Amino acid sequence: MAQDVDLFVGLAGIAGVFVGFAALISFTRRTEIVMPELAHIRAVVTIGLLVIVAALLPVGLSRYGVTGHSLWLICSLIFLFLIWAAGIMGLRRPENRAMVVTQARTSPVMTAFFWLLLEVPIEVPLVLSVLGVFPDLEPAFYTTALVLHVFEAAFVLTQLVYSQTPQTDG
């Protein structure tokens, strides 16, 4: 675990930058943000905060002597819970549900990319850690989920940036 501390703290810092960028965008454009942009901002903030918590969780728990499979089991369960809780909480808002459906219809390739190349590969390693199938790989599985979650934040932030439309004076 000692070798992972710097990596996990670094990943938490990177995620914090994403949260800051999203907050800055929302603050500087607060009067002109439309729903799809707001949903992307919320997603970047949520994903970033999840990464911060998930990255610091093993660092904190290891200080209490939790090690080995117990450490990765607890961390993976909490990480999975947070991912699912954030998703469910986000979909409770009707405008978010509508946007997800619209995005799936208008951008099926980007939607498939998000789910098949990011979200599923984030969760599978966590499930493998929970199951304890490959105990020697549990730190790698957890790290993979964290790194892919940072990639997910970058992907959503990129979607937000490229969705911006220039203002026209008129």
Average pLDDT of the chain to the nearest whole number: 84
- What is the reported pTM? 0.82
- pLDDT at residue number 166: 59
pLDDT for res 123: 94
Distance of alpha carbon 63 from its chain centroid, rounded?
A: 25
pLDDT tens by residue, 114-167: 778 788 999 999 999 999 999 999 999 999 999 999 988 888 888 777 776 655
Specify whether the CB–CB gap between 70 and 44 falls below 8 A.
Answer: no
Q: What angle do CA 156, 159, 161 make, to 5 degrees?
A: 110
> Which among 99, 125, 127, 103 has a CA at the least distance from the CA of 114?
103
Rg (CA), the chain: 17
Share of the chain above pLDDT 70, in %: 88
What does the domain layout of the chain look like in residue ranges?
2-163
CA 153/CA 19 separation, integer angstroms: 9
Asked whether 51 and 156 are in contact (CB, 8 A), the reply is: no
Residue 46: burial class (beta carbons within 10 Å; 0-12, 13-18, 19+): buried
